Amino acid sequence: MKKIIIYCFSGTGNTMRAANAFAKGVSECGAECVVHPIRTDTPFLPPDGYDFVGFAYPVHGFNAPTPVLRYAETMPCTNLPFFVIKTSGEGLKLNDASSRRLVRILRDKGYGFQAEFHYLMPYNIIFRHTERMAYEMDRTMQSLAALDAEALLNGSCKPPVDSVAARGVAKVISIEHLAMPIIGKSFRIDPSRCIGCGKCQKICPCGNIRMEGGMPRFGGACVGCMGCAFGCPRDAVSIGVLNGWKVNGAYRFQAMPEYDGTELQLPRYCNRSYRRYFEHAARRIKKECQTDAERV
């Protein structure tokens, strides 16, 4: 039985949801998959005894988040094959080069790059997707993850090819990695809203929040995952200069009666990239269903 480990960095839960969906697809193919969180409060787990290594992350400014790169740097040297799962709120081609630094780090350690899987999940910053959009994103991701898990195990995947433009944008926007610890220090709590529940501290994967006198205090290790602002039950977190883009409150990811028979309304923002993603996914899922029917 093949064994896979996925190292997953997730702030608001979208990427963890995708990693778990992929793991489910792996198990349905008769293999074993473990999802291990990348968090400061979770010990490092070496890939000993595994046949594949996966890294899952949300795209941050067209790049992999800093904690993912740091985790990759601690990995032991080995010739294991590895793959990437990444999530983003839009399907822009400029996201294609987001894994370049991660891939370079792991290749230098001897790992072989096998595949990359990109899933759209609803925004936790910039603007809030509709519940219908979030549901369709999640439903599509679940279907694609099952197909991708099977493709990885049967060896039919190929590493992606990115463009010069995507590489250039990723390099320029990587300045976000330097800026976020500074911006994060400006995060504040509205004392009239905060109930001192400590949820933000528990969510933070970087250990950047501590409770003092029953109130959260922010340090200088923020990477912009937005878990604190997104997950606050009282919407009490202000995210400094980014506050105009703040999104608060979990998505339901549930089908609703009013969705039946109605067309999904795509956002005007990045409309073409959303349309391309959903149309490509629908064709692939339909083709696989037809193939399964022919096998029967």
CB 135 within 8 A of CB 259: yes
CA distance 129 to 122: 6
Q: What pLDDT, on a 0 to 100 scale, did the predictor assign at position 289?
A: 80
- pLDDT of 293 reads 61
Mean pLDDT calculated for residue range 129-146: 98
Q: What is the mean pLDDT of residues 278-292?
A: 88
On average, the pLDDT of the chain sits at 96
Query: How do the domains of the chain map onto residue ranges?
Result: 3-172, 180-245
Topology match between the domains 3-172 and 180-245: no
State the pLDDT confidence band at 84, using cuts at 50, 70 and 90. Answer: very high
What's the topology of domain 3-172?
Rossmann fold (3.40.50)
Q: Is pLDDT of 1 > 60?
A: yes
**Binning pLDDT at 50, 70 and 90, where does residue 294 land?**
low
Instruction: Quickly count: other Cβ atoms within 10 Å of residue 274's Cβ.
Output: 23
Residue 2 has pLDDT above 70, yes or no: yes
Q: Which fold has domain 180-245?
A: Alpha-Beta Plaits (3.30.70)
Residue written as token pair 């990359």: 116
- Please work out, in degrees rounded to the nearest 5, the angle formed at the alpha carbon of residue 260 by the alpha carbons of 266 and 248: 50
- Phi-psi bin for 196: left (phi > 0), alpha (psi -120 to 50), beta? left
Output the six-digit token pair for 57. 């992350």
Q: According to the model, what pLDDT value does residue 295 have?
A: 60
Q: Is 154 exposed, middle or buried (0-12, 13-18, 19+ CB in 10 A)?
A: exposed
The kind and range of the H/E element at 210 are: strand 209-212
pLDDT digits (tens, 9 = 90+) for 145-168: 999 999 999 999 988 888 999 999
Report the alpha-carbon distance of residue 232 to residue 151 in Å, rounded. 38
Do residues 10 and 137 lie in contact, with contact meaning Cβ atoms separated by under 8 Å? Answer: no
**Entry pTM:** 0.96
Residue 99: closest CA among 58, 152, 140, 137: 58
